[in-house]
Structure 1
Amino acid sequence: MHFEDVIKGRRSIRRYRDKDIPRSLVGEILDLAKHTPSSGNLQNWKVIVVKDSEMRQQLAQASMEQYWMVEAPIHLVICNDYDKVKDHYPVLGKMYSIQNCAAFAYNITLSAHTFGLGSCWIGAFDNEKVQRLLSIPDNIDPEIIITLGYSEDSKSPQLRDEVKYITYQEKWGAKFKVPKSELEQIESGIKKEVSKFKKKLKTIKKRK
């Protein structure tokens, strides 16, 4: 699978087939994701793999009662070991630690897609309840839950804003002009020539 296909093909999946995921495959997905960059290469992420159906039910309830989550045979709970970061970055360490976990979580979703699995990023949940359910220590924060499974959803990827609408050049507000592709340049050239021809045609008609 080409990298472009991975990026464009990944989407949030909320319907899953009733099919088990081998533990070895979960390990391969995490083994790819572990190469995520992090502040100071501190790698402050930890992962809890949840397969138990009753626990998945409770996690879904703690996630604003999003019970579709239970269909996913695996929940990955991404946790933040902030202690690994705060001594190196005493002022902005908390923010960096969350950014690191977010980057790691995103790479998990990409990695899962390369192995033919669907996933969904869950950020809305009761942190304290999840902490209690999974016996997570007080100094460790659950940041993200990722559902994992074989997709039963055939929806198309969501439309994204064009680069020109989200990018500035050198400073805020200055337009970033994206060079046209070769095909776009040809199309633009044809349109200009057609426009010129129409103008000439009008001029000729007026003379008559």
Structure 2
Amino acid sequence: MDVLKAIEERRSIREYTGKVPSEETIRSIIEAGRLAPSAGNRQPCRFVVVWDRDKILKIAKASMKFLSKAGVVIVATADPKLDPKWYPVDTGIAVEHMVLAAQSLGLGTCWIGAFNEEEIKKTLEIPQEVTVVAMLGIGYPKQTPSPTSRKKLGELFFRDRWNNSYS
């Protein structure tokens, strides 16, 4: 799938079939995350790819219940000491690379930013000094939601100066 088509068709998927993606498919997705750029090439992100159903259920309980039906959950972390200023941006870039890779392979994803970090760390044995930045539910969509409304280009982008609508 063309990257622009993947961007256009991507939706946050909160209902999964329960079918687990293949190891090969997930490897392709995490490879996209590995290849993401980072400030100064510091690569501060680390990811826990969770296949274990019991752990996925614990993660769902500590965050969003719908994750219980995800085939895999990727927990995106970073050590702030490696890059205190840019680790959130670097992690976001890597996660979005994985989102688009998953979309191109026919899987659905949902970014998760609301979670009990201590419970996630405990479940996955993540060291205290490491920050859980986000999580990504991945699975086969039960259905594809309709597109959400988006603001017009000129409302979001300006040409050469502030408030000069890019149209």
In 1, Cα distance between equivalents of 2:62 and 2:152: 36
The structure, 1 or 2, with the larger RCO (C-alpha pairs under 8 Å, 6+ apart) is: 2
Query: Which secondary structure does the structure 2 equivalent of 1:83 belong to?
Result: coil
In structure 1, what is the equivalent of residue 123 of structure 2?
Answer: 133
- Choose from 140, 143, 151 the match for 2:133: 143
The runs of 5 or more residues in structure 1 that have no matched partner are 86-93, 179-208
- In the alignment, residue 41 of structure 1 is paired with which amino acid? N
Query: Which secondary structure does the structure 2 equivalent of 1:75 belong to?
Result: strand
In 2, Cα distance between equivalents of 1:163 and 1:45: 32
Alignment of 1:74-113 (within 5 A): 74-85=72-83, 94-113=84-103
- In the alignment, residue 30 of structure 1 is paired with which amino acid? I
In structure 2, what is the equivalent of residue 11 of structure 1?
Answer: 11
> Max radius of gyration: which structure?
1
Contact 1:14 1:153 in 2 (8 A): no
In structure 1, what is the equivalent of residue 151 of structure 2?
Answer: 161
Say whether residues 1:119 and 2:117 are aligned partners.
Answer: no
Q: CA deviation at 1:159?
A: 2.0
**Sequence identity of aligned pairs in percent?**
27
In 2, Cα distance between equivalents of 1:84 and 1:130: 21
What root-mean-square deviation, in Å, do the aligned CA atoms of Structure 1 and Structure 2 show?
1.3
Larger fraction in helix: 1
Q: TM-score, normalised by structure 2?
A: 0.94
Contact 1:123 1:145 in 2 (8 A): yes
In 2, Cα distance between equivalents of 1:51 and 1:32: 18
In structure 1, what is the equivalent of residue 45 of structure 2?
Answer: 45
In 2, Cα distance between equivalents of 1:71 and 1:152: 10
Say whether residues 1:173 and 2:163 are aligned partners.
Answer: yes
Q: TM-score, normalised by structure 1?
A: 0.76
| Cα deviation 1:62-90 (Å, max 9, x = unaligned) | 11xx21110002100001122322xxxxx
Query: Which secondary structure does the structure 1 equivalent of 2:82 belong to?
Result: helix
Q: After the TM superposition, which parts of structure 1 deviate over 6 Å for at least 4 consecutive aligned residues?
A: none
- In the alignment, residue 126 of structure 1 is paired with which amino acid? N
In 1, Cα distance between equivalents of 2:124 and 2:3: 35
In structure 1, what is the equivalent of residue 32 of structure 2?
Answer: 32
Query: Which secondary structure does the structure 1 equivalent of 2:85 belong to?
Result: helix
In 1, Cα distance between equivalents of 2:25 and 2:117: 28
In 1, Cα distance between equivalents of 2:85 and 2:149: 29
Contact 1:10 1:113 in 2 (8 A): yes
Name the count of aligned residue pairs: 167
Q: CA deviation at 1:166?
A: 0.8
Query: Which secondary structure does the structure 1 equivalent of 2:150 belong to?
Result: coil
- In the alignment, residue 105 of structure 2 is paired with which amino acid? F
- In the alignment, residue 27 of structure 2 is paired with which amino acid? G
Deviates more, 1:114-123 or 1:26-35: 26-35
Contact 2:3 2:100 in 1 (8 A): no
- In the alignment, residue 59 of structure 1 is paired with which amino acid? I
